[in-house]
Structure formats: C-alpha cells, structure tokens
Structure 1
Amino acid sequence: MDYFLNGIKNALILIATLDSETYSAIFTSLRASSLSLLASIIIGLPLGFFLGFYNFRGKKIVKNIVNSLLSLPTVVVGLFVYMFISSRG
C-alpha cells in the first residue's frame, strides 16, 4: 500500500512543481487523442450516415464487419497498429 501512496504523492509533486517532462507527456497525450477524435469524426460520421440511410449491395456484409470490429479490444487494435508502424514489423 505504501508503494501506491508514494506513487500518488510523487505524481502530485510532479504536477504541482510544473515539471516540464510531465506536462510535455500530458500535452502529447491530449494532442494525440484530439487528433484521433477528429479523424474518427471526419471519417466515421459520413460513413455511418451512408451505412444507416442508404441501401446498397453488400450492406449486410459491411454491417457485419463493422459490428465484428466493434467487439475487438482496443489493446488488440493498438498492437496491430504498432506492428504496422514499427521498424521491424
């Protein structure tokens, strides 16, 4: 339990002292999540609208694929993205 409390204490000290590395990591995470949200809105809204309101050949297959991908945990998706962008993968 002391290990956990020491971690929280150290985190609060880093935040309170305006540590530049801590705030750099925070802002990098915020920037990445904001860009991810923006990209998913730009891509997802039109495609979701199209999938919901228009009938086309293969719509059932596309809906099944989309629903299947929704069940994948984000960790699995992250590992696949990492494999594609890593220098060895």
Structure 2
Amino acid sequence: METRVAIIGIIVEDKDSVEELNSILHNYGKWIIGRMGLPYQQREISIISIAMDAPNDEISALSGKLGKLPGVTAKTTYAKLKGEE
C-alpha cells in the first residue's frame, strides 16, 4: 500500500467541537506520526498540527471530516518526496 507524508493544519474556533475532533483523530491514530497542539488564549482558539504517513484517501478523508466540524478549519499540505512527483 502506497502512502504519503502530509501535515494537516487545524484551527479550532468552537471549543464545543473538541471532543468530536479528538474522537476522529483517535480513529485515524494508526496513520498519525505526531500531533502538536497550541492553545492561543489571547484569540480564544487552538492551533493543531497533525503529521501523517497514510494512503492519500485516508489523509483526504480525515481532513474532510475535520473541516465539517462546526468552528473547525483544516488544510492539508503534502510532502514532495523522491519518486512522488
């Protein structure tokens, strides 16, 4: 199975979506390399980055599910590794 390396950048503006967001991330745990979360209290938001090594369909599905949550924005950036151009 071919996989890609990607980063999903997430901004959470609605704290009521955090529980569902964490549940979704848990379901994709086998593909997640690491996670970093930064609470930005001055703006009352959270900034989360998710590093993944997964099939393209899994990365797209995760990003799409996160982006459908109220008050959550998710954008994906893919690595350009040798042989993946």
Instruction: Judge same fold: TM > 0.5, yes or no.
Output: no
More strand by share: 2
Higher relative contact order (CA 8 A, sep 6+): 2
Higher radius of gyration, 1 or 2: 1
> If the TM-score is normalised by the length of the shorter chain, which range does it land in?
under 0.3
TM-score normalized by the length of structure 1: 0.24
